[in-house]
Amino acid sequence: MNINHSFYQLTPDSILSAMESLGYETTGRFYPLNSVENRVYDIETSNAGRIVAKFYRPGKWTYDEILEEHRFLLELSLEEIPVLTPITLEGKTLFEWSGIYFAIWPLRNGRIVEEISGGDLERVGALLGRVHALGKKLGSIHRPTLDIPSYGLKSLNFILEKGLIPNKTLEDRYRVTALRSFEIFESLVKEYQIPFQRIHGDCHKGNLLVSSEGYSLLDFDDFLVGPIVQDFWMLLPLGESDRKKDVFGFLQGYTMFAEFDENWLQLVEPLRIIRYIHYAAWIAKRWEDPSFPSLFPHFGTEEYWLKETLDLESAKKDLEEQSIEVSNQNDIEPEMTNKDFFWDWEN
């Protein structure tokens, strides 16, 4: 049996049979939840209430990669950091049905965050600071690294080798912009010695849940090793000058628990560019999934790639202007003070 086919065609019978194989007594009621990468269901049982089953997309993660995600979540939970952890049954958190890996999760009530403002910024900053502080303590064996060779170039080469961009001139512009952005990313990492560590990897508002108990982080599927600001830029309006107060509030909470250097924020634009490219390759790799053409109807058209290229070029321009501005600031000689004239000056 083709595993991908069985994943695309998961039936009610196969979903409920997988649950019953673990001892759950299903009532027959279940509801698909919003998930593009995986297949996720809210399932009612008579012996354990409502549970959530996540069937992982075949080929996306190895068995060891998924287990490492689960271990990271359990580490966080042991430190009382509010994350959603998989249910352990007979010492296991990962199971298999018809060649598809799946896990069981408790149903967490709450609402997805629309906007983060006021005192919530500091609370969310503190939550992410705690996650990063623990993420820094240990390395990763199996999860990917957000670097240019494995994350940027691999995606770019896939797009170019598959000939996905229909216009040669557009393809050249896309490639040149991407490669220049990759160079800047690597030079910034080297110049500021930016550390890489375990991070969430896909930290946007849709993965932040708020309830009467406060905020919690969901969906560590894309957890990887990378620079911490990858987890900042999708949550915060870092490019909007009139929202600097919001960024300051967030960082007040964050720095109570984790180290932060303002120079690291220079990675935001290149990380944004890398994500654009990675996202386009991600869609292309899943095009055989029947749900993707309907979810992304304009993907692959010349109009789509023109917009992608213009977005990349705009982001690269901002990045280069940022680099020039920082360089100019570094060239400014500090104003002379009394300490420069009197060696024993103490005031």
Can you say which residues are annotated as belonging to the binding site? 207, 219
Annotated binding site for Mg(2+): which residue ranges?
A: 207, 219
Catalytic residue among 120, 147, 202, 222: 202
177 CA to centre of own chain: 23
The tokens for 29 are 């009621």
- Taking a C-beta distance cutoff of 8 angstroms, is the pair 52, 71 a contact? no
- Taking a C-beta distance cutoff of 8 angstroms, is the pair 319, 273 a contact? yes
> Hey, what amino acid is at 345?
W
- Taking a C-beta distance cutoff of 8 angstroms, is the pair 41, 52 a contact? yes
User: How far is 294 from 261, CA to CA, in rounded Å?
Assistant: 42
Is residue 219 flagged as an active site residue?
A: yes
User: How far is 149 from 147, CA to CA, in rounded Å?
Assistant: 6
307 CA to centre of own chain: 23
3-state secondary structure of 206: helix
- In which element (H, E) is residue 216 found? strand 214-217
Catalytic residue among 219, 221, 222, 231: 219
With b for 16 or more beta-carbon neighbours within 10 A and e for fewer, the 59-96 pattern comes to ebbeeebbbbbbebbebbeeeebbbbbbeeeeeebbbe
Torsion of Cα atoms, 6 then 218 then 22 then 33, to 10°: -50
Bridge partners of residue 104, in order along the sequence: 53
> Hey, what amino acid is at 32?
P
* Catalytic machinery residues: 202, 219
